[in-house]
Amino acid sequence: MANQMREAAIVGIHEYPLRVAPGRSAMQIKVESIKAALDDAGLKWSDIDAVYDTNDGEGGGGLGMAPYLGLKPTVIDTTQVGGSSYEFQTAHALRDIAAGKANVAVLTYGSTAASSRRAIGTGGATGQGLPNWQGNMEDPYGMITVGNYALVAHRHMHEYGTTTEDLAEISVATRLHATRNPEAVKAMTDLQFMGTGEITIQDVLESRMISDPLHLLECCMQSDGGGAVIIASRDVARGTKKKPAWIIGTGEAIKYRENGGDITTSAAAQGGPIAFAEAQVTPAEIDIAMIYDSFTITVATILEDLGFCKKGEYRDLAKGGRFRFDTALKPTLNTDGGGLSSNHPGMRGIFLLFESVRQLRGESTSQVAGAKLAIAHGNGGALGGTHAGGSVILAAD
Amino acid sequence: MPDRPQPRFPEPNTQKYWEAVKEGRLTYQQCADCNTVVFTPRILCTGCGSSNLAWKDSSGEGKVYTYTVVRQNRNPSFAPLGAYVLAWIDLDEGFRMLSNVVGVNDPTTDVKCDMRVKVEFEKQDSGEYPIPVFRPV
């Protein structure tokens, strides 16, 4: 541990509280969130010297955000790798700060996916835009987002004997955590979930099949939302309002379909070990696993790839309610209620950072006593095809 | 007859593939320098970076690597298919392609991973390009 990195930390967070926000634009959600995150950190507007934004529409990107904010930052980063953009951007902010290029970085996200009814799950957008090599080979076959992940799930079941009951453990634990988070309960209410209470494995099995073998209660919601993260240098972090969450390891990787490739292994298998090596910790030491739960299979696959168990052994890891916040077993999973039951406006990666920080500060609604280490792993793109995986390992002060 | 989305042109990577489909041939590329099988069509070898790629005809036979049954697609082109089987097919020549498995009684029970399949070229209602799909053998 002697050489464990303490170059930069997350010092301010804000999760936009609403999941249905009619009348608000994505840019307004971002800006309100930046103000609140600065307040959380005890920093000023003029302290920001680095802006990271995904350019997810509505005038964003580094080139769009900085003028709206009235800032002239020394670092601009418009990394866009889908839902894992925020883990990639955290890695970049750490590097930029460690290199002395910036002191206070802001990462921001805003989306009105629910209010504008943008298709996230079952929309199969085809025949639009310019002709391209990928569209010409895939559009005739009716790929949809859920279907892409379902392809991973069937092969995982075929090779390792994983069952829907095993995958449902994720839905059940996540929903338990959501019932304890008032913002998640309001989200499920506002988005007209059939029920907002705890669910059982049987409930998951009996929910509507969307794309075999994935059921409705294995799929994330489609919400509005957003937020902001403030990352600061060691010197700045020592003077902020709350305890810093130190960024001690990061890993970035992508994966895509290859002839003869293994669809059950994600980009996390490449980037995860890099993050753990840099952090000088092992998966067994991690208290909190914030894993991108677009669908249950996403989490199962990534837990294996990060080394919480061997490939194909998720089914054993899942036993015994391990993922619940109130058991002694590690890791505890998605304590905010996840994309399944709290917040999924299209790119969930930033929320993984928020809840990791809350746990390390002792502020979660499903707090794990004495949580010291958390991993946020974002997955962007589509798990069964081209996707990006970004890992960020955080340590309590 | 089905009326799926058609490939669109100009698109220089995939034009030759689709012209072959019109003639009832399923084609792939192979690197003349290192023998790597390349799919989907492009202008460099993913094994060595060479531009020396040869087009080959596939037997059209292979197996289902993995599949799903899509119950709902908001794109109206797929409504006539009902619940349909979306699958990655591993062709015997060593390339993997996205397609559909057709010709089963019940798509929710009659398709399995590793099941043997063979290509057929499905005529479309209005589009000029037939679509390569797979049927169990």
- A121 pLDDT band, cuts 50/70/90, is low
- Domains in chain B: how many in total? 1
Residue A372: exposure state from Cβ atoms within 10 A (0-12, 13-18, ≥19): middle
**pLDDT of A58 above 80:** no
Which residues in chain A are contacts of B17 at CB distance < 8 A?
A: 137
Does residue B8 come out as left (phi exceeding 0), alpha (psi in the -120 to 50 range) or beta?
A: beta
Mean per-residue pLDDT, A197-207: 98
* Inter-chain Cβ pairs, chain A and chain B, closer than 8 A: 134
A372 to chain B, closest Cα gap in Å = 40
Q: For chain A, say whether B33 makes contact (Cβ under 8 Å).
A: no
For residues A199 and A171, is the Cβ–Cβ distance under 8 A? Answer: yes
> Rounded to an integer, what distance in angstroms lies between the CA atom of residue A302 and that of residue A293?
10
Pairing of strands A50-53, A104-111: parallel
> Rounded to an integer, what distance in angstroms lies between the CA atom of residue A141 and that of residue B78?
9
For residues A385 and A376, is the Cβ–Cβ distance under 8 A? Answer: no
**Sign, CA torsion A24/A27/A32/A37:** positive
* Token pair in block for residue B43: 């202008």
Domain for residue B82, yes or no? yes
Q: Can you spell out the DSSP letters for A265-315?
A: --THHHHHHHHHHHHT--GGG-SEEEE--SBHHHHHHHHHHHTSS-TT-HH
Residue at B134: amino acid letter = F
**pLDDT of A16 above 60:** yes
Which residues in chain B are contacts of A154 at CB distance < 8 A?
A: 66-68, 113
- A3 pLDDT band, cuts 50/70/90, is confident
Q: Which 3-state string (H, E, C) describes A138-201? A: HHHHCCCHHHHHHHHHHHHHHHHCCCHHHHHHHHHHHHHHHHCCHHHHHHHHHCCCCCCCCCCH
**pLDDT of A13 above 70:** yes
Quote the mean pLDDT of chain A.
95
Which residues in chain A are contacts of B77 at CB distance < 8 A?
A: 126-127, 142
Output DSSP code: residue A214: E
**pLDDT of A31 above 90:** yes
At residue A126, the pLDDT reads 52
Domain for residue B4, yes or no? no
At residue A124, the pLDDT reads 47
- A56 pLDDT band, cuts 50/70/90, is confident
- Domains in chain A: how many in total? 1
Strands (E) across B1-137 are located at: 27-31, 37-38, 53-57, 61-70, 84-91, 96-101, 116-122, 131-136
Domain for residue B80, yes or no? yes
Residue at B36: amino acid letter = T
For residues A89 and A97, is the Cβ–Cβ distance under 8 A? Answer: no
Residue A326: give its domain's CATH number: 3.40.47.10
For residues A75 and A101, is the Cβ–Cβ distance under 8 A? Answer: yes
> Rounded to an integer, what distance in angstroms lies between the CA atom of residue B4 and that of residue A395?
51
Residue A133: exposure state from Cβ atoms within 10 A (0-12, 13-18, ≥19): middle
Domain for residue A122, yes or no? no
Domain for residue B7, yes or no? no
Residue at A283: amino acid letter = P
Domain for residue A141, yes or no? no
**pLDDT of A57 above 80:** no
Tens digits of residue pLDDT in A38-55: 999 999 999 999 999 998
Output DSSP code: residue B7: P
Q: For chain B, say whether A136 makes contact (Cβ under 8 Å).
A: yes
Domain for residue B5, yes or no? no
Quote the mean pLDDT of chain B.
96
Which residues in chain A are contacts of B7 at CB distance < 8 A?
A: 131, 135-137, 139-140
Which residues in chain A are contacts of B86 at CB distance < 8 A?
A: 141-143, 147, 151, 211
Which residues in chain B are contacts of A124 at CB distance < 8 A?
A: 73-75, 78
Q: Which of B14, B66, B70 sits opposite A155 (nearest CB)?
A: B66
A387 to chain B, closest Cα gap in Å = 17
Q: Which of A140, A209, A260 sits opposite B5 (nearest CB)?
A: A140
**pLDDT of A30 above 70:** yes
Domain for residue B72, yes or no? yes
Contact yes or no for B8 and A135 at CB 8 A: yes
- A118 pLDDT band, cuts 50/70/90, is low
Contact yes or no for A133 and B67 at CB 8 A: no
Q: For chain B, say whether A141 makes contact (Cβ under 8 Å).
A: yes
**pLDDT of A182 above 80:** yes
- A271 pLDDT band, cuts 50/70/90, is very high
Helix (H) or strand (E) holding A11: strand A8-15
What's the Cα-to-Cα distance from B26 to each of A108, A216, A299, B94, B100, rounded to whole Å? Answer: 46, 36, 36, 13, 15
CA nearest neighbour of A17 among A323, A226, A195: A226
Domain for residue A158, yes or no? no
> Rounded to an integer, what distance in angstroms lies between the CA atom of residue A92 and that of residue A191?
34
Domain for residue A12, yes or no? yes
Which of B53, B91, B98, B99 is best to mutate for the A interface (most A CBs within 10 A)? B98
The residues that bridge with A12 in the sheet, in sequence order, are A230
Domain for residue A52, yes or no? yes
Tens digits of residue pLDDT in B45-104: 999 999 999 999 999 999 999 999 999 898 899 999 999 999 999 999 999 999 999 999
Domain for residue A340, yes or no? yes
> Rounded to an integer, what distance in angstroms lies between the CA atom of residue A252 and that of residue A272?
8
Look-up of token digits 């290859």: A258
> Rounded to an integer, what distance in angstroms lies between the CA atom of residue A89 and that of residue A248?
15
Query: What is the ipTM metric for this complex?
Result: 0.97
Which residues in chain A are contacts of B13 at CB distance < 8 A?
A: 133, 136
Domain for residue B24, yes or no? yes
Contact yes or no for B75 and A142 at CB 8 A: yes
Q: Which domain holds residue B111?
A: 15-136
The residues that bridge with B20 in the sheet, in sequence order, are none
Percentage of residues in chain B having pLDDT higher than 70: 100
Percentage of residues in chain A having pLDDT higher than 90: 91
CA nearest neighbour of B51 among B33, B68, B69: B33
Mean per-residue pLDDT, A290-296: 98
At residue A1, the pLDDT reads 56
> Could you tell me which residues come within 8 angstroms of residue A25 by beta carbon, excluding any fewer than 6 positions away?
A58, A110, A112
Give B 58-117 residues with CB within 8 A of chain A.
Answer: 65-75, 77-78, 81, 84, 86-88, 90, 94-100, 108, 112-114
Domain for residue A353, yes or no? yes
Domain for residue B6, yes or no? no
Q: For chain B, say whether A154 makes contact (Cβ under 8 Å).
A: yes
Domain for residue A78, yes or no? yes
For residues A244 and A397, is the Cβ–Cβ distance under 8 A? Answer: yes
Contact yes or no for A131 and B131 at CB 8 A: no
Q: Which domain holds residue A26?
A: 8-116+222-395
Which residues in chain B are contacts of A138 at CB distance < 8 A?
A: 98
- A59 pLDDT band, cuts 50/70/90, is confident
Q: For chain B, say whether A158 makes contact (Cβ under 8 Å).
A: yes
Residue B106: exposure state from Cβ atoms within 10 A (0-12, 13-18, ≥19): exposed
Percentage of residues in chain A having pLDDT higher than 70: 96
* Token pair in block for residue A109: 């996200």
Contact yes or no for A140 and B6 at CB 8 A: yes
Which residues in chain B are contacts of A146 at CB distance < 8 A?
A: 70
Which residues in chain A are contacts of B74 at CB distance < 8 A?
A: 119, 122-124
A386 to chain B, closest Cα gap in Å = 13
Determine the 3-state secondary structure of B31 from DSSP.
Answer: strand
> Could you tell me which residues come within 8 angstroms of residue A100 by beta carbon, excluding any fewer than 6 positions away?
none
Tens digits of residue pLDDT in A334-382: 999 999 999 999 999 999 999 999 999 999 999 999 999 999 999 999 9
At residue A55, the pLDDT reads 84
Contact yes or no for B99 and A135 at CB 8 A: no
